[in-house]
Amino acid sequence: MADVDRRRFLQGGVAGLAVASGLAPAIKPGEAEAATKDASPNYPSVDIVPLASIPPGAEIAFDYPDENSPAVLLRLDQPAEGGIGPDKDIVAFSMLCTHKGCPLNFLADQKSLVCPCHWSSFDPAKAGRLVIGQASQSLPQMQLEVRDGMVRAVGVDGLIYGRHTNIL
């Protein structure tokens, strides 16, 4: 009986210590992914530019899902993850670095989105994946669609820097 009590105490004690020390996860498995994939049905549908007027190498600034969220549409001239258009090479991303929110620059010659603050670099051809730098998360990618010849933003994959939800 004493062994059972000791075992039960140790199990509770270890779990309690893990929670108190911050070693235990603060959120349950699956919640982190849900938090970064904001599947809100309330995203606005915003016209960006006619598909026919996007030349190869284009870099077009816009705001999405509101005017406080700078984004960029790129035509990479190579197929990209999540790309739209006939060549699947048109993508769009938040322009706020996921590290501390500095505005990014697109370096066309490197086909890379680069942060001037601490030099994190993101790959727009691979869904904004972090390549190198201080950031720990990929860039939020804007969901695009073409309707009636117009490229439109209709959602966001990932959480925009500084927000707990993309729709404020």
Q: Which residues of the chain form contacts with ligand FES (CB under 6 A)?
A: 97, 99-100, 102, 115, 117-118, 120, 133-135
Of the candidates 61, 55, 123, 114, the one whose C-alpha atom is nearest the C-alpha of residue 90 is: 55
Is-catalytic flag, 118? yes
Torsion of CA 30, 167, 121, 53, to 10 degrees: 130
DSSP H or E segment with residue 13:
helix 2-21
The CB-of-94 to ligand FES minimum distance in angstroms stands at 12
The CB-of-116 to ligand FES minimum distance in angstroms stands at 8
Is the Cβ of residue 117 or residue 131 nearer to ligand FES in the bound state?
117
* Active-site residue identified among 7, 37, 118, 147: 118
* Active-site residue identified among 82, 99, 104, 128: 99
Is-catalytic flag, 164? no
The CB-of-117 to ligand FES minimum distance in angstroms stands at 4
Rounded Cα distance, 153 and 73, in Å: 10
The CB-of-147 to ligand FES minimum distance in angstroms stands at 34
2-41 burial: b if 16+ Cβ within 10 Å, else e:
eeeeeeeeeeeeeeeeeeeeeeeeeeeeeeeeeeeebeee
Is the Cβ of residue 135 or residue 151 nearer to ligand FES in the bound state?
135
Is the Cβ of residue 105 or residue 143 nearer to ligand FES in the bound state?
105
Rounded Cα distance, 88 and 81, in Å: 8
Q: What is the set of active-site residues?
A: 99, 118
